Chain A
Amino acid sequence: MAKHRRSAKYECMLLYVDEPQLISLVANKARFVALAVPPADEQRFVVTTVSKRDWASYLRGSIDLRYLFTVPEMRQTYTFDLSSMKEGKVMMDPRTEPLTEDLLPSPRFFAENHTEKFVEEDLPEDVERLIIDGEWELQEFGQFQQRYADIYAFSSAIRCWSDQDISEDRKKSIAGSFRGRPFQGGFSYVHLFKDLNDNVPYSDRIHLNEIQYASPGFVDILGVDDIFSTVNESIENLLANRRHITKSYKELYSFLSKNKYLNLAGDDYDPNTSADKYIKEGTESFAKLLKLPDLQAVVELSEKNTLVTAKVVLSYYRRLLEATSFFSQGRASFKD
């Protein structure tokens, strides 16, 4: 529960129905969403703090408005009167009581209902059509999409890291996805790819645009052409050179396994070990076969930790392999 009054700056309107119904406020790095509430003849709003991650999820329609006001444990709630706004700022009073039902939005109010365009809402405009054929179980379809998104997010992160025009904030977010993880087991990789997906800017993020399930059918994905090209080249390369790539993967993986490096935390790795040269060269050779877009970026993001770099590249391969398997089975393809 919030304890103190707090000032916030009006950012923009999100929903207008005869009057503002939903608005966005900011204060330093914090974001707030404010919802108009009764009485009808006043301009009262209830406010909740919104984390960066929840805000991104809300904008892309993964969570509804009610979620923002009811679920996040660390949320703080306030109220204010829009008529008291001065020089674009409002003073918000903390609410000590939980929001009652009459002040909450009904379930299933998603960002698609906004009447105003939020600056970060611009969807990418390039369309990648993947042809789908054969039989698909529902969970397989989700798995395919997830792996394709993982490869896309990884390629996007690597591309941004090496781009001088990308903001330092974005680069810090990307670095944060890689750093501070032990990379001892599967959870580190799951969280790495989840973070990478979350960190793709809304304007670059892939969105499912249309599905036609038939034999053959198609999936139209909105995204950025350059990143689609990188993903598709990686898949085509693996399809064409699978034997060599798999052999190289097994060699590196076996070496790490036999020497107990798989269970060793990145921070506990000694770069002066005699194995360092082998791991480094094995990773370079594997990345070359894999046509990894930019190994140097992965090295930098892994803080030049040879073991972490190797593990990240291996985990990228496993996701690429899963996505590619649908192409090798003939159930997905790039062309009719």
Chain B
Amino acid sequence: MEEINALLGGFGVAFTPFNLMLMFVGVILGIIIGVLPGLGGANGVAILLPLTFSMAQQPGGTTSAIILLSCIYWGALFGGAITSILFNIPGEPWSVATTFDGHPLAQHGRAGSALTAAFTSSFVGALIAVVMITFLSPVVASFALKFGPPEFFAVYLLTFCAFVGMSGGNAAKTVASMMIGFALAAVGLDSVTGTLRLTFGFTSLLKGFDFLIAVIGLFGIGEILETLEEGLAFKGASAKINMKVVLETWKELPRYWATSLRSSAVGCFMGIVPGGATPASFMSYGLARRLSKDGKDFGNGKVEGVVAPETAAHAAGTAALLPMITLGVPGSPTAAVLLGGLLIWGLQPGPLLFVEKPDFVWGLIASMYLGNIAGLIVVLTCVPLFAAILRIPFSIIAPVIIVICAIGAYTVHNSMFDVYLMVVFGVLGYAFKKLGYPLAPMVLALVLGDRAEENFRNAIKGSQGDLSIFFSNGLVGGLTALALFLLFWPMIRTAVRAVRGGAR
């Protein structure tokens, strides 16, 4: 019941006219960002983050700032569905599975019901995840209050090992991408000893690499280059949603309650475990196809095939904030950018946040409820407007987006060097994407690098360099063991299969 009271307090914080306005502004910006090629949740939030610097300095301003940025995130999640369904272009990686049934529905003239189903199930998925966050995060946070440096490092280890083991791609590429992130994070002044590391005498490297620049370059410029190569021509289905279609679809949706619940569960779980929304959406689409009685019709335009991935993606995207606020470990690149925002505003993400800044935390959680309601209202009423954005010719929208990215990169530190760096990261992002190097581990490593190193150092300092500190008690030992298990999961799975196959 304590949570309910805290949450009501949070509603008190979030439910001011100014914050409500920010929610709508954030959601609308987020949807635009989600619809535009080259802009997504992660780099959209990264570009707008510098604009919140002054806002965050006013009293209560950090809460308003996080409400604005997290609503951009919800908006981007909603926006991805619009392009997937109408244009067969997934605006975000987690919307890829939505195109499988969403676009055929649109081609059959049922774009309205596909969009309604997508938005409604996004909303349901997010709502379930927020309820989970409401009740689970205080528990996790109070548990994590007992954490010392070894435990925190073990949590980071777990995060990064999960990436390697669960990514399903090329493990060497995941490791390479992640370690490049760590190495870039180490550039600059070492906070413990005051030594300069990896700067090679360049003064511009003294401050190190800012992850915001990396995010803007990797995801923004990289994606524009990739899109250009395909020679983009948007041919979209028309988007009309009227109340009749909405109500008809809503009548149909309760039939898929099982799919909805299952996808939410998949999403919540995958969102907490880093790896996130994209695998969650594919997994729940696959599950729905296997378990549904008309599973063989999936791919030709089934509403259920839209419900499953959208619910899971939104649940995962929302659940990714749980480890971010409780442990300071983001579950997705966008959550990593939000975490970076907290650090810039002078807040220490982690369990202490619940004790020291309850207004902030519960204001944020309450805004998740309100922001998603705002999102649902905006998307259901304004889809044609947002779809019209995609009809702006690419030769106008592409340079404008690159200009926006450049402004975003510049405003982080008011430094031109960052803008040059952004272009370099853009080329890197393009090459990495095409070769199948995952970008998310690099971003997470860049954000968490310093904190991971600090905890590692403090931990082994306490044990005089003995690595057995990471197995010294049940808690840290369990976390480390779980991390190693996840790291070697592909090999373990192969071994288990071989043993089973041999037994038969």
Is the pairing of A and B real?
A: no
Interface set of A (CB-CB < 8 Å, partner B): none
B residues at A contact (CB < 8 Å): none
